[in-house]
């Protein structure tokens, strides 16, 4: 075995061992590396209840309400399975929208309301011109519509 | 006769070759950069949710790609230097580090500028951003370690080990958005899936990525030429070079 083969084996072995060690460490710290908890995780009591943490999910459609004082907003964060009402006094980011992603940091009250100190918008990795987005939305609606009418047709066809 | 791959593996023969290649890569970088920015700012459409602000993607994403890729190339050269004991490999690793650090800084800086209007914060300690920040520290650590050791051979060895250890961070950066919940969105472009961007946007980003490639190669070659001159200053061919009329 030549010296350089020995060194190659040493370097390759070292990198492999390090890689495995890193994988094991990251696996062990899996729960500490999450940036936010989903409403389902909160419902399953996986989130800390005595200190502040972040929740993330979608802002539920039609849930955004501005309180009479003008600065406090109330909305519901959902992951389509569970949802959490959030109370926040402050300026919302531009991308904050019903049906879009959001990450809020704060504390969960005993009454189940999340009091947020900071609200951040989380956007997805899709980039397209507004026309394309409109077209996609229309296609989705049309499909939904046709499905609905098909179901109704079928319901009509079934003999009573 | 077969092509002699090792002809350019010595500093003496590589030095003039690098000198001839630099203008080619520099011109390509300028041309591709101009075309890429034109596509990015004038041809690519407005985004449906982020409006015009998304256009920083043309600077941010190629810089982030380069920051990770250059680290892997640097670690590869460092490993070559360690295993084969070739002088030029270690010089290449040393030459790549500042460019890699610059790319990492650019990615973090433009990301921060992008994060404020879109997410509502300059910085968040999520897995993607934190691991990218560690990458910047790795580059700085590599440069500082090499600079602190006077003997270039020992500096190369110490640096190579640091570079190789740090290489585990690169897949962590890349997959962080997949493995954990992060504020940073997932990749728009990944293997085995069609890209989730409009085609002109994608084209602009790829042209910009090519421009970054060309710039990084040109910058690394320029730096490696200086390193060769500095380290080989006592060699006869460098003395001849000095004596020769410019």
Q: How far apart are CA A55 and CA B65, in angstroms?
A: 29
Both A29 and A40 in one domain: the answer is: no
Closest A-chain CA to B46 = A129
Same domain for A115 and A40: yes
For residue A160, pLDDT beyond 50: no
Domain that holds residue A78: 35-122
Q: In this structure, are A112 and A41 located in the same domain?
A: yes
Q: What is the mean pLDDT of residues A141-150?
A: 72
Nearest to A4 among B47, B84, B124 (CB): B84
CA distance A80 to B178: 20
* Contact between chains at B186 and A124 (C-beta distance less than 8 A): yes
* Per-residue pLDDT tens over the stretch B90-128: 999 999 999 999 999 999 999 999 998 888 899 988 889
**Is A132 found in the same domain as A110?**
no
For residues A25 and A42, membership in a common domain is answered with no
Q: Do B47 and A125 touch (CB under 8 A)?
A: no
Cβ of B49 and A100 within 8 Å? yes
**Distance between CA atoms of B58 and B61, rounded to whole angstroms?**
6
- Are A81 and A110 contained in the same domain? yes
Regarding whether A69 and A81 lie in a shared domain, the answer is yes
Verify that A49 and A101 share a domain, yes or no. yes
Same domain membership, residue A135 and residue A107:
no
Q: Tell me what pLDDT residue B26 has.
A: 96
Q: Are residues A55 and A101 in the same domain?
A: yes
Give me A14's structure tokens. Answer: 């070292």
Of B45, B121, B167, the CB nearest to A129: B45
**Counted domains in chain A:** 3
Q: What is the ipTM of this complex?
A: 0.77
Q: Rounded distance, CA A89 to CA B226, Å?
A: 57
Is A78 at the interface with chain B, CB within 8 A? no
Q: How far from B47 is each of A127, B27, B197, CA to CA, in Å?
A: 6, 31, 9
Mean pLDDT throughout A66-73? Answer: 85
On whether the CB atoms of residues B175 and B97 are closer than 8 A, the answer is no
Nearest CA in chain A to B43: A129
Domain boundaries in chain B?
19-238
Question: Residue ranges of chain B with pLDDT lower than 70?
Answer: 1-3, 5, 244-246
CATH code where residue A109 lies: 2.40.50.140
Q: How confident is the model at residue A156 (pLDDT cuts 50, 70, 90)?
A: low
Taking an 8 Å cut-off on Cβ atoms, the answer to whether B164 and A14 are in contact is yes
A103 alpha-carbon distance from chain centroid: 7
> What's the pLDDT at B238?
87
Give the pLDDT confidence of A35-69 residue by residue, as tens digits.
888 888 888 888 887 788 899 999 988 888 888 88
């Amino acid at each position: 075995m030549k010296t350089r083969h020995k060194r190659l084996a040493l370097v390759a072995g070292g990198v492999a061992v390090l890689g495995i060690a890193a994988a094991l460490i990251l696996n062990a710290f899996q729960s500490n590396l999450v940036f936010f908890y989903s409403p389902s995780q909160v419902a399953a009591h996986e989130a800390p209840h005595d200190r502040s943490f972040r929740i993330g999910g979608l802002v539920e459609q039609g849930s955004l309400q501005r309180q009479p004082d003008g600065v406090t907003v109330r909305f519901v964060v959902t992951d389509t399975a569970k949802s959490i009402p959030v109370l926040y006094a402050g300026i919302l980011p531009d991308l904050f929208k019903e049906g879009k992603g959001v990450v809020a940091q704060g504390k969960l009250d005993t009454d189940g309301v999340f009091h947020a100190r900071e609200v951040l918008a989380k956007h997805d990795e899709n980039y397209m011109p507004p026309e394309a987005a409109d077209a996609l939305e229309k296609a989705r609606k049309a499909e939904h519509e046709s499905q609905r009418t098909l179901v109704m047709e079928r319901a009509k066809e079934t003999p009573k | 006769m077969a092509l002699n791959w090792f002809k350019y593996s010595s500093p003496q023969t590589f030095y003039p070759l690098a000198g001839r290649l630099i203008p080619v890569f520099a011109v390509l970088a300028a041309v591709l950069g101009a075309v890429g920015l034109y596509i990015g700012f004038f041809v690519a459409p407005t985004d449906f949710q982020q409006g015009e602000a998304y256009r920083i993607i043309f600077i941010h994403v190629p810089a982030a790609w380069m920051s990770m890729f250059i680290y892997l190339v640097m670690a590869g050269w460092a490993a070559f230097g360690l295993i084969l004991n070739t002088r030029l490999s270690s010089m290449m690793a040393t030459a790549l580090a500042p460019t890699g650090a610059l790319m990492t800084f650019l990615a973090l800086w433009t990301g921060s500028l992008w994060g404020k209007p879109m997410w509502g914060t300059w910085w968040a300690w999520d897995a993607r951003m934190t691991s990218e920040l560690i990458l910047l520290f790795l580059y700085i650590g590599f440069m500082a370690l090499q600079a602190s050791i006077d003997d270039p051979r020992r500096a190369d060895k110490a640096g190579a080990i640091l570079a190789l250890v740090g290489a585990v961070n690169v897949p962590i950066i890349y997959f962080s958005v997949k493995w954990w919940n992060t504020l940073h969105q997932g990749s728009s472009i990944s293997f085995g899936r069609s890209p989730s961007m409009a085609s002109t946007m994608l084209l602009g980003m790829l042209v910009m990525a090519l421009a970054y490639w060309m710039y990084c190669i040109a910058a690394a070659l320029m730096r490696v030429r200086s390193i060769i001159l500095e380290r080989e200053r006592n060699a006869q061919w460098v003395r001849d070079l000095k004596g020769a009329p410019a």
